[in-house]
Amino acid sequence: MMGFSAFFYSLQYLDARLLRNDFCLWMITFCRGLSGLLVIIICMAWWRTPHPLGLQKRALCSRGILGATNIALSFYAVQHLQLSVATTLLSTAPLYTGILTCCVHRLQWKWGDTVSGVFCLGGVILMSYEKFTNPPDHYFYWGFIAANGAAFVNALINISIYGVREESALTIVGYAMFFGTLTAIPGLWVGTQRHHIPFWNESNNTLKLWLALVGTGSLSVVAQLLKTNAIQASQENIRIVLLRYLDIPFSIAWDCLFFGSRLTMREIVGIVCILIGVMIRGLMKKPCRTSPRPTAFPTPTPTPNPTPTNHCILEIIN
């Protein structure tokens, strides 16, 4: 499922990239969230999902806010960076996931974590060095920051899904779509009222573009449902998130097919370094714990006098 999720994520980023000259960022984010939310509501009604609003509302709201933040940062990065470069920078999320997992679960930091971090950091430097020394425009720096910020937020999302794993995947994704729509409204108002940015390019307003805009929400729903189901079904193997980043070769293919882009040798080596770093982190043996394992959700038999480590994994985002 995670492999199919990567394919649909790459299509979502491609769609956002293609629409950048016709719709403003917040318009894309708003329509993506609204159309995705409608798809979720229809699916819930069709399958009669029990407890559609969920039981862990606080945790679900945290997941939704993180999802809205991640998609806004990701779309900004995709619009201002080369598609394959932005996607590769977003793929550093497993490194952040590993670091946060070690912190939350109090796992030992092993040599493989250091090697993985060095490879990922080296890959990011190789990919960005030439652009930093000779940036195509001043938006490059903001796109670079947005891509790395989205990767960190994505790591928080990967961990937070374990805290709500007993909830329906439709409910989890529905909260992300709702908050994505909600947070886009202030952006639309500020963009139009303060900076006079139009919602869309009226000179190129066609039905095909509007269908592509609405389709972004459908692609996002499919991608997130597949990802959420894969993580929920993987028990404690958080390394399943590595397969999510098969969208890197997909994005390279879209770059060549739709934009005629060509990667430099430095960028190719950087992509390879990041992939090696991510794979090292994912193929490492399960590290030893330095303290009793914290539980992300309640067990049938409550333990007396719980230790400080028996807290919800979502404490890192609350």
pLDDT at 22: 79
**Dist CA 196 CA 38 (whole Å):** 29
Kindly list the distances between the CA atom of residue 197 and the CA atoms of 33, 122, 204, 296, in Å, as whole numbers in the listed order.
20, 38, 16, 44
Report d(CA 125, CA 141) in Å as an integer: 13
CA distances from 101 to 6, 68, 77, 151, 247 (A): 22, 22, 26, 15, 23
pLDDT of res. 284: 63
What's the longest Cα–Cα distance across the chain? Answer: 67
Domain boundaries in the chain? 2-200+209-288+312-316
pTM: 0.77
Cβ burial of 309 (10 Å; 0-12, 13-18, 19+) is middle
pLDDT for 210? 75
Q: What are the C-alpha distances in Å from 289 to residues 94, 102, 108?
A: 20, 9, 6
The CA distances from residue 251 to 5, 167, 293, in Å, are: 13, 31, 38
| Residue type present at position 143 | G
71 with 180: CB under 8 angstroms? yes
- Give the separation between CA 24 and CA 21, rounded to whole angstroms: 8
Question: Which residues have CB under 8 Å from 39's CB, separation 6+?
Answer: 217, 218, 221
Tokens 């490879």 locate to: 119
**3-class secondary-structure state, position 297:** coil
How many C-beta neighbours within 10 Å does residue 267 have? 23
What's the pLDDT score for residue 149? 95
Give the residues of the chain that fall short of pLDDT 50.
Answer: 287-303, 306-318
Token pair recorded at residue 226: 């597949």
pLDDT in tens, 132-153: 777 777 788 899 999 999 999 9
Rounded Cα distance between 109 and 6, Å, is: 28
- Please tell me the predicted confidence (pLDDT) of residue 316: 35
pLDDT of residue 165: 78
| Model pLDDT for residues 85-99, shown as the tens digit of each residue | 888 888 778 778 777
How far apart are alpha carbons 232 and 163 in whole angstroms? 10
pLDDT of residue 299: 41
C-alpha distances (whole Å) from 154 to each of 69, 148, 180, 282, 299 are: 9, 10, 14, 16, 27
Q: How far apart are CA 125 and CA 280, in angstroms?
A: 18
